[in-house]
Amino acid sequence: MQALLEMDCLPAGMELFPAGNTDQWTLIRKVIEQSDYYLVILGGRYGSVTEAGLSYTEKEYDHAVKVGIPVMGFVPAEPDAIPVGKTDRSDAAIEKLAAFRIKVQQKMTKDWKNAEDLGSKVTRGLIHLIKNNPRPGWVRGDHAMTPETRAEIAELTAKIAGYEKKEAETFSTAAPTKMDQSFAHGQETVTLDLKHKGIGNYGQDSEDGDLTYTWDEIVEVLGPFMLDEAPEPALRKKLDNHMHIDIQNDREGNWSVEPYANGSASISDKSWGAIIVQLRALRLITTGSKKRTVSDNAVYWKLTQAGDDYLVSLRAVPTAANPNAH
């Protein structure tokens, strides 16, 4: 491990994880799969075994080979010279260790005699492994963004912007260009429920009521604010203000609560929903398509081409030479 650290590698020794634990095996397997190389060091013991009789070291080695991790083995140069206290006593374990050594030696291996020899063999062996099997490796976060990566991201960003522009143009072309006159419109009327706040007998008070408008009046009030995309709360506020002004201008005294400048009118959810549904049915408005921030959860509305044309016919001032022009 010291040799690996001196090579600026990050060793993840499997001996640091308890063997024989299913959850630990899941962790070990993930560590192996995230590693660039797998080094196995054989000694004089086969080691702890699974229920199937396979040592956990051999199980780890087999998994590394299976998932395509480049492997290198380090085997004792003189296995018979290993002290008896560091070898298996069981004939079965001895046979399994010998079979495992043969398996490891089918790939790149190096013999080692002692700790110092092992450290130098690991260094030279890993250099050879890296040269012949280059892997991604690990880098600092502030060094991960190379100039090539930045250029690639910029190119992809430009492509995405181009696709979005093309999509917007396609949508604009495909947007309704003619109003659907099979639904109520023009001088046909709609009654809107609202709550009015004003001055009563005992100070500020409120009352429920309603106002009646033609659909043309509603389009004239809301249309100009939807030439570009407008958030629904802002549109609703515009209509509330318009209704409050109408209440203030009411000379027939239809309101029991006297209106005042700081009062207000608030359209009911039901009536507002009816307006949105009707304008959509007429193909005059559609939902906005611009990107918003994550925190912006408002619904945006904008005029379709049909809505834009209809608004122009309502609000544009004709020339004196042709007062009937639209």
Helix (H) or strand (E) holding 157: helix 147-174
Question: What are the E-state strand segments in 54-202?
Answer: 71-76, 109-112, 189-200
Q: What are phi and psi of 180, to 5 degrees?
A: -90, 100
Given a contact cutoff of 8 angstroms between Cβ atoms, the answer to whether 108 and 145 are in contact is no
Do you know the residue count of the chain? 326
pLDDT on residue 17: 66
φ and ψ of 176, to 5 deg: -55, 135
Q: pLDDT category, 323, cuts 50, 70, 90?
A: low
Distance CA 189, CA 226 (A): 21
CA distance 112 to 258: 100
The mean pLDDT value for 104-129 works out to 92
Banded model confidence at residue 21, pLDDT cuts 50, 70, 90? low
Q: Is a pLDDT exceeding 90 seen at residue 138?
A: no
142 pLDDT more than 80: no
Average pLDDT over residues 258-281: 91
- Taking the CA atoms of residue 284, residue 313, residue 230 and residue 280 in that order, the dihedral angle to the nearest 10 degrees is -10
For the chain, give the mean pLDDT: 87
The residue type at 319: T
Q: Do residues 129 and 108 lie in contact, with contact meaning Cβ atoms separated by under 8 Å?
A: yes
Is it the case that residue 147 has pLDDT exceeding 70?
yes
Contact yes or no for 222/307 (Cβ under 8 A) = no
Flag whether pLDDT at 326 surpasses 60: no
Report the pLDDT value the prediction gives residue 285, as an integer from 0 to 100: 94
Predicted local confidence at residue 163, as pLDDT:
82
How confident is the model over 235-253, as a mean pLDDT? Answer: 89
DSSP 8-class letter at 288: -
Residue 232: predicted pLDDT: 94
Distance CA 258, CA 263 (A): 9
- Looking at residue 310, its pLDDT comes to 93
For 168-200, letters b (16+ CB in 10 Å) and e give eeeeeeebbeebeeebebeeeebebbbebbbee
Biggest CA pair distance of the chain: 116
- Checking if the pLDDT of 191 tops 90, the result is yes
User: Domains in the chain, start-ordered, CATH in brackets?
Assistant: 2-140 (3.50.50), 189-315 (1.10.10.10)
Q: Give me the residue label for tokens 């809107």.
A: 192
Q: How much is the average pLDDT of 47-52?
A: 86
User: DSSP string of 236-265?
Assistant: HHHHHHHHHHHHHT--S---SSBP-TT-EE
pLDDT tens for 199-231 read: 865 567 889 999 999 999 999 999 999 999 999
How confident is the model over 110-139, as a mean pLDDT? 90
**CA gyration radius, the chain:** 39
**What is the average per-residue pLDDT within 292-297?**
83
Pairing status of strand 38-41 against strand 71-76: parallel
Place of tokens 């590693």: 35
pLDDT at 123 over 90: yes
Q: How many CB atoms lie within 10 A of CB 253?
A: 7
The angle at the Cα of 99, spanning 126 to 114, to the nearest 5 degrees, equals 45
What confidence category does residue 286 fall into, taking pLDDT thresholds of 50, 70 and 90? very high
233, 324 contact by CB (below 8 A): no
pLDDT at 18: 59
Under the banding of pLDDT at 50, 70 and 90, the label for residue 256 is: confident
